[in-house]
Structure 1
Amino acid sequence: MWKTAYLPLLLASVLACSCAPPPRTSAVVKTEVTLTNYPGDRLVAIKEAYRKGEPVTTAALEATLRRADEELNGEIYTIVHKEVLPPSGNPNDYISLGPYWWPDPDQPDGLPWIRRDGEVNPLTQGERSDKSQQNAFARGVSALAYAAYFTDKDVYRRRAETLIRAFLIDPKTKMNPHLEYAQGIPGRNSGRCFGIIELTDVVGMVTSLEVLDLAGLDPEVKAGTDEWLAAYLHWLQTSKLGVEEKERENNHGTWYDAQVLSMLIHLGQTKEAGRVAETVKRRIDTQIEPDGAQPHELARTKSLSYSTMNLRAFTTLAYLAGTVGVDLWNYSSPRGGSIPKAYAYLEPYARGEVEWTQPQLGDLATALYGTRELFAEAGSLFGDKEFCAVPRPSSPAPDLDRLIYACETAPR
């Protein structure tokens, strides 16, 4: 059964304190909030603490509010101004190049490009890809959504609506709801199923839209956004590339499921969400060994990063599935693999007890940072105090994620 995770005792004591500073706003905090990706009561508790001026909460929200303030006068994100059009000739179609592919030095024109796993080709990044605009849009709307909810200031909500209209609704500037031309390879193809992973931001986008709705999202914007999500979901489930990505037996397939499941739940399609959640059990069987190893990820040149990335997707899926009555967290495959065992496999490395010696291009410390953060988030979501006892990386300043995924450690 699912366990309930709680915010720290400090936050709870703040909520009960009768000697708090004067309220920032007279707005009534909604006490029942349902979110797709994490428990809504956490958002309510954070808002109440912020309203009362609790110092840790106030400090943690500073970065989010600062980013939201920057967005008030920032650019309007769109993918239509790119210099190189996709094969369709339509600037509204998303386009990107496979990041680990490079010109062939043995060919005069460099074609076809060749793969160098884990080595990012700078020619595939920045303005040459629509990914930068899509990522900036997702981050901007997230900051504005939280700022609108926590401060009750309409200026943030209205700006978020402006960004959403431009990126998802306005026919002149919106991104069409498909990824037919994502992660193409010059000399080989114009798009691949692997490009679908570039829109994993849709999981967070669901949360942003739900938080904005709590802040009074314009019904027309909500309807237009849900229409875009429904169209993208349909493309994922029926297109050739979508079906191919669904069949991938590594992080690509896992994050495909996370995208699909989060949108199904958000759109109220709970019966279909339950069916999809049940199919994740097959992924656990094929991707997690009885000892918790994830062989498809360990085969990569960034083995720790990809093991963590895939386990994050499984953790997301376990939480989502639990909201529609499917228990993936406690599921064990016929071969003995399970999500907790995947954590057990990584735990000695996260604790610093054993050195990671498998391939890991780049900074190992950065990869371990992500692994340790994931332990804290999983411990928070599933009430596992042993996970919370894994040393969490130090942070230069508190942030919103650490309030949302506050983690109680087991008594020693």
Structure 2
Amino acid sequence: MEHPCIFLDRAELAGLVDKAKAPSSDWGKAYRQLLAAGKAARAQPALSVTFAGPAPASGDEHDYATEPPYGKKDGVANKSADRSDYMAAIKLGKSVRNLGLTYALTGKGEYADKAIELINAWCINPKTRMNPKFTNQQSKIELCITMPGMFYGSDLIWGYPRWDREHRAAYRQWVGTLVKAAMHWRRDNNFENWRLVLVSSGAIIAGNEKARKYAFARWKVLLDHQMNDDGSMKYELGRTNSLSYSLYAINAMVQTAEIARHFGVDLYRWRSPKGRHLALALDFHARYALDPKQWTREQMHPYKGLSAAFMLSDGSIMDLSMCPECAEAPDLYLLWEVVMGGWLAEPKTATDRPTVRDDYVMKQFERGTFILDLFYSEKWTEIAP
């Protein structure tokens, strides 16, 4: 297997470098912001579940420990919850992702060196490593939304010549163990969608072809299991923040679909036996992403998402409408929205959004992939390559 291959491959990276470095373009601005993020990540101290957080029920300080984010009612924050390990995992995923991307676009080894340092502390060092397993129900979603960032960053530095082979092999084994653990549980709601993001991305690092193919096959099964005939997400509708969690599930679906594209599997256009597909879910939710007040189900907290299908688990968002060049180049849109996590300015209100285009667009990559945008109307426009 040739790395990188999770969200970007070598050819895609090569085609993006010149565009990203154009100093006068929006991409030049975004590139400079990425460099700043990479520089900040280089200053990130080592992270470990052994440094802080609640005492694991097992008594083993190397176990991931977390407490439920909600109290007696769904959506009501449990202010006394100790989520130190989760906060550390978020920082880890973001930092390694940013370091990997900065290395991939600049070729500067100091970014790869720092990514390896963070990976070693979390996964390899006997004094600080996390045991690669899930410890409770909450750990399942938290690790599934944070670890893929580390997997993706490591994919981008995989060929770095100064990465010690023994350390890389130990990391690969660590990831493989976590992927195997994720194969031993299932859920009905968004946990399951995020589980597939972890399994598909982690399987690439671990070299586990069987697990990777399983994730893509399971994704197809979930369409009929999770989606109603109208495109709504049945297991999210009972939540107190039902719109947010519906789009949260779709976010994960899109990420797995993009990973699958790099292995010749088109989940973007796949239709289930009952005729359900990703576009159906996005069609249904588009109007509500544009105007959350139309949502008639419970939404305890105001929905603040912009491009919901591509809002990453760490909360980083980019509005496609802020970058006219992106609107005409879905490969760049993918790079900055899904892959880079969003470095362009986020509009503060709906009135700040430039009118780049008036349709809810489903564009097709020249290489045959769909990229989905949740702006401006519930209509789909398909542009053939």
Class of the TM-score when normalised by the shorter of the 2 chains? 0.7 to 0.9
SS in 1 for 2:76: coil
Closer, same or farther: CA 326–159 of 1 in aligned 2, 3 Å: closer
- Structure 1: state its 5+ residue gaps: 1-31, 102-114, 181-190, 385-392, 398-404
Could you tell me the TM-score, scaled by structure 2's length? 0.75
Paired position in structure 1 for 2:78: 121
SS in 2 for 1:213: coil
Offset of residue 157 of structure 1: 1.9
Contact 1:164 1:221 in 2 (8 A): no
Contact 2:236 2:242 in 1 (8 A): yes
Provide the C-alpha distance between the structure 1 equivalents of 2:372 and 2:307, rounded to a whole number of angstroms.
Answer: 16
Q: State the aligned residue count.
A: 331
Out of 329, 333, 339, the position equivalent to 2:278 is 339
Out of 281, 290, 305, the position equivalent to 1:367 is 305
Closer, same or farther: CA 372–75 of 1 in aligned 2, 3 Å: closer
Provide the C-alpha distance between the structure 2 equivalents of 1:228 and 1:89, rounded to a whole number of angstroms.
Answer: 21
Provide the C-alpha distance between the structure 2 equivalents of 1:406 and 1:347, rounded to a whole number of angstroms.
Answer: 14
Contact 1:82 1:91 in 2 (8 A): no
Contact 1:92 1:176 in 2 (8 A): yes
Out of 158, 177, 181, the position equivalent to 1:235 is 181
- Structure 2: state its 5+ residue gaps: 313-318, 321-325, 335-343, 349-369, 374-380
Closer, same or farther: CA 197–372 of 1 in aligned 2, 3 Å: closer
Contact 1:274 1:324 in 2 (8 A): no
Paired position in structure 1 for 2:233: 294
Paired position in structure 2 for 1:157: 112
Paired position in structure 2 for 1:356: 295
Could you tell me the TM-score, scaled by structure 1's length? 0.70
More moved, 90-99 vs 368-377? 368-377
SS in 1 for 2:236: helix
Provide the C-alpha distance between the structure 1 equivalents of 2:23 and 2:79, rounded to a whole number of angstroms.
Answer: 44
- Provide, for residues 323-354 of structure 1, a one-character-per-residue CA deviation record: whole Å limited to 9, x for no partner: 44444322323333221110110122234497
**Aligned letter for 1:395?**
E
Offset of residue 169 of structure 1: 0.8
Offset of residue 154 of structure 1: 2.0
Contact 1:166 1:174 in 2 (8 A): yes
Please give the residue correspondences for 1:88-103 in structure 2 after superposition, counting only pairs within 5 Å: 88-101=58-71
Provide the C-alpha distance between the structure 1 equivalents of 2:101 and 2:88, rounded to a whole number of angstroms.
Answer: 20
- Provide, for residues 249-269 of structure 1, a one-character-per-residue CA deviation record: whole Å limited to 9, x for no partner: 111112112211222233333
Closer, same or farther: CA 57–329 of 1 in aligned 2, 3 Å: closer
Closer, same or farther: CA 303–39 of 1 in aligned 2, 3 Å: farther
Out of 106, 111, 121, the position equivalent to 1:166 is 121
Indicate yes or no: 2:49 matched with 1:82: no
Please give the residue correspondences for 1:315-334 in structure 2 after superposition, counting only pairs within 5 Å: 315-334=254-273
Provide the C-alpha distance between the structure 2 equivalents of 1:118 and 1:201, rounded to a whole number of angstroms.
Answer: 20
Contact 1:274 1:326 in 2 (8 A): no
SS in 2 for 1:159: helix
Provide the C-alpha distance between the structure 1 equivalents of 2:96 and 2:217, rounded to a whole number of angstroms.
Answer: 32
More moved, 59-68 vs 223-232? 59-68
Closer, same or farther: CA 222–58 of 1 in aligned 2, 3 Å: farther
Closer, same or farther: CA 146–324 of 1 in aligned 2, 3 Å: closer
Paired position in structure 2 for 1:148: 103
**Aligned letter for 1:291?**
D
Out of 195, 203, 207, the position equivalent to 2:148 is 203
Offset of residue 396 of structure 1: 5.6
Structure 1 vs Structure 2: percent identity of aligned residues?
26
Paired position in structure 1 for 2:206: 267
Offset of residue 294 of structure 1: 0.9
Closer, same or farther: CA 153–133 of 1 in aligned 2, 3 Å: same
Offset of residue 318 of structure 1: 2.2
Contact 1:137 1:163 in 2 (8 A): yes
Contact 1:149 1:215 in 2 (8 A): no
Offset of residue 58 of structure 1: 2.7
**Aligned letter for 1:262?**
S
Provide the C-alpha distance between the structure 1 equivalents of 2:190 and 2:231, rounded to a whole number of angstroms.
Answer: 15
- Provide, for residues 107-163 of structure 1, a one-character-per-residue CA deviation record: whole Å limited to 9, x for no partner: xxxxxxxx31012212225xx431111111111222222222222222222222211
Larger relative contact order, structure 1 or 2 (CA cutoff 8 Å, min sep 6): 1
